[in-house]
Amino acid sequence: MKKNVFRVILAVVLVATVVVFTVSVGAVTAAHYKRGTYEGSGRGKFSDVVLSVKIRRDKITAIDVISQNETPNYWKRAVAVIDRIIESNNTAVDGVTGATKSSNAIKAAVDNALKQATVYGDVSFLTPEFLKNITDIFIRALSFIKVACS
């Protein structure tokens, strides 16, 4: 009898863990960007780099330089990062060799702007398919509990 009670408790804990983990993973990945134009800054070699980042439909659509005082030759190379960021829709892009600090400043400025634009708590991940999968997992777990109690 004690063995069956232990199995039931273990099964309930397992079901709760799976459901909580699945929903929390969905919530973490459900960050979106608010539409708008946001300003961000990042520290370069000689100055703060200030950029304007435009967001439309969860996409970075434009990045404009508001101010910077980096060395002109390095800055000319570093701005290539801007196109890469727009193309990939994130700052996880390679910097520019020989203009590392300036390109890192651009990425930091965009990250700073994106933090302002980020919206959490969106439940759009709760699609019918997602809910069906959770329900299926829960039903399987209940079946396991039923077998464990037998």
Burial of residue 113 (CB within 10 Å: 0-12, 13-18, 19+) is buried
Rg (C-alpha) for the chain, rounded Å, is 24
What architecture is the 33-119 domain classified under in CATH? Alpha-Beta Complex (3.90)
Q: Which amino acid is at 141?
A: A
Which is more confidently placed, 2 or 44? 44
H-state helical runs in the chain? 2-28, 72-78, 80-88, 100-117, 128-149
> pLDDT digits over 119-138, tens only?
876 666 677 888 788 888 87
pTM of the model: 0.63
CA 53, CA 86: separation in Å to the nearest integer? 10
